Structures are given as structure tokens and as C-alpha cells.
């Protein structure tokens, strides 16, 4: 099963994508996580991506598309995957559609996690992320057992540089201008399904499972 997660930054795409990946035994692929791992390791790609990420802007399509296509060509993607944070522009979606078409494949579902902008700033300020294993928490809604320490791998959690309120506002603008049009794109492809992302994370997940079966 090939799934795309759509939604504003902070809507809960990553949180749900990880639960989907566990339940359906498919890899969770987050372009944001791939960029952050590269930044952490000081690679050229990381240096380039950071310039855009810190400004709340999108990393250019050429860079992002290459990384994603390389990743989905790997062996563990044979039975599908859940994409989190890709595509974020119409050109990215078109490249993915074309690449899948060539293989006689297609996206099965684009799950739109719907959360109004008012709720987003609040969520992002409390987000804490583990750069070692990719887990995400919230200081109020999804707390860790020990403050500041990842439940899954024991590493120290970080507050993402791009989760500052000014940057979040910019990212929301970028989302509305460049990413929201994907809702129409995947509606036209007949694969869009929307869920109410303002619910508790378990209820959001139940709604997604009803869709995916």
C-alpha cells in the first residue's frame, strides 16, 4: 500500500504516519527527517537544506525529488510506504506520479489530516523531536515519561529550529500557497481522503484505519 500524508505543518502527519507504518509494516519516509539527519551529520545536502528550512521555506524541488526517488527505490519499499512531507508542491507530485506510472504503480491513498491554522501554532510550540530515532512528542498532549528524553531510544529531545512562532507562520503561508493545491490534485486522482486532525491522536488514527482497511 502506498500512502501520502497531506496536511499543514504540525497537523500530525508524522505522528499518524509512524502509527500507520507500524500497523501495516511499511516504511515511514519523511523528507524532513532525511534533511534533519543530513544536517546533524554535517553533509553538503544538510548544509544546503538548512538554508531553506531555517527560513520556513521549501527546499528546492530538484534536491527533494532526487532524495525521495532514491529512497522509494530501495528494497524495503517493495510492499509500499507512507510518505510524510512529500510531495509538498505540484511539480513534486507530478514527478512522483510519473515515476510510479512507469512502474505500472500508483498512490493508493492521500490522507489529508485537516487541522485549522489556529490550532497549529499551539501544537508547534510544544513539539519536541528526537533526531536520533525520529519520534515526536508534545509537552502537553503527548508527553514523554521522563521530561526531555525520548521514550523510544533514550536520546535527548530537541525543539526544532523551525518551530519558532515566526517561522511557523511563514511555513503556514508556504503551505497554503504551495502545498494545499495538492488536495485538488489528489481529489482529481480519486485517492484523497480527509480526517479531522483536531481529535485526540488515537481517534484520528481510528478514522485513518477505517479508510485504509
Residue 59 found at the interface with ligand AMP (CB under 6 A): yes
Stretch near ligand ADP under the rule CB under 6 A, chosen from 19-27, 61-69, 119-127, 174-182: 119-127
Catalytic residue status for 47: no
Stretch near ligand AMP under the rule CB under 6 A, chosen from 49-57, 115-123, 150-158, 193-201: 49-57
From residue 82, give the alpha-carbon distance in Å to each of 15, 22, 46, 53.
Answer: 12, 10, 23, 22
DSSP string covering 92-143, please?
A: HHHHHHHHHHHTT----EEEEEE--HHHHHHHHHTEEE-TTT--EEETTTB-
Catalytic residue status for 123: no
Residue 2 found at the interface with ligand ADP (CB under 6 A): no
By beta-carbon proximity to ligand ADP, the closer residue of 88 and 138 is: 138
Catalytic residue status for 160: yes
Cell numbers that stand for 212 in this block = 485504509
Stretch near ligand AMP under the rule CB under 6 A, chosen from 83-91, 96-104, 151-159, 198-206: 83-91
| Footprint on residues 90-109 left by ligand AMP (CB under 6 A) | 92
**Per-residue b/e over 4-37, b at no fewer than 16 CB within 10 Å?**
bbbbbbbbbbbbbbbbbbeebebbbbbbbbbbbb
Residue 125 found at the interface with ligand ADP (CB under 6 A): no
Residue 15 found at the interface with ligand ADP (CB under 6 A): yes
Catalytic residue status for 88: yes
Cell numbers that stand for 46 in this block = 544538510
Cell numbers that stand for 74 in this block = 530501495
Which residue is catalytic, options 152, 160, 164, 170? 160
Which residues are marked as active site? 13, 88, 127, 160, 171
Amino acid at each position: 500500500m502506498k500512502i501520502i500524508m497531506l496536511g499543514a505543518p504540525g497537523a500530525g502527519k508524522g505522528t499518524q504516519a509512524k502509527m500507520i507504518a507500524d500497523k501495516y509494516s511499511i516504511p515511514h519516509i519523511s523528507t524532513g527527517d532525511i534533511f534533519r539527519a543530513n544536517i546533524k551529520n554535517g553533509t553538503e545536502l544538510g548544509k544546503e537544506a538548512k538554508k531553506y528550512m531555517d527560513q520556513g521555506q521549501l527546499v528546492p524541488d530538484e534536491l527533494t525529488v532526487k532524495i525521495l526517488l532514491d529512497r522509494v527505490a530501495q528494497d524495503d519499499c517493495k510492499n509500499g510506504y507512507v510518505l510524510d512531507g512529500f510531495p509538498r508542491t505540484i511539480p513534486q507530485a507530478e514527478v512522483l506520479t510519473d515515476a510510479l506510472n512507469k512502474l505500472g504503480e500508483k498512490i493508493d491513498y492521500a490522507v489529508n489530516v485537516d487541522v485549522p491554522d489556529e490550532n497549529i501554532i499551539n501544537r508547534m510550540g510544544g513539539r519536541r523531536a528526537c533526531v536520533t530515532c525520529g519520534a515526536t512528542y508534545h509537552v502537553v498532549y503527548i508527553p514523554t515519561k521522563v521530561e526531555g528524553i525520548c521514550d523510544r531510544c533514550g536520546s535527548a529531545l530537541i525543539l526544532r529550529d523551525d518551530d519558532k512562532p515566526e517561522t511557523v507562520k511563514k511555513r503556514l503561508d508556504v503551505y497554503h500557497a504551495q502545498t494545499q493545491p495538492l488536495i485538488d490534485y489528489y481529489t482529481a486522482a480519486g485517492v484523497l481522503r480527509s480526517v479531522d486532525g483536531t481529535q485526540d491522536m488515537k481517534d484520528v488514527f481510528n478514522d485513518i484505519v477505517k479508510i485504509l482497511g
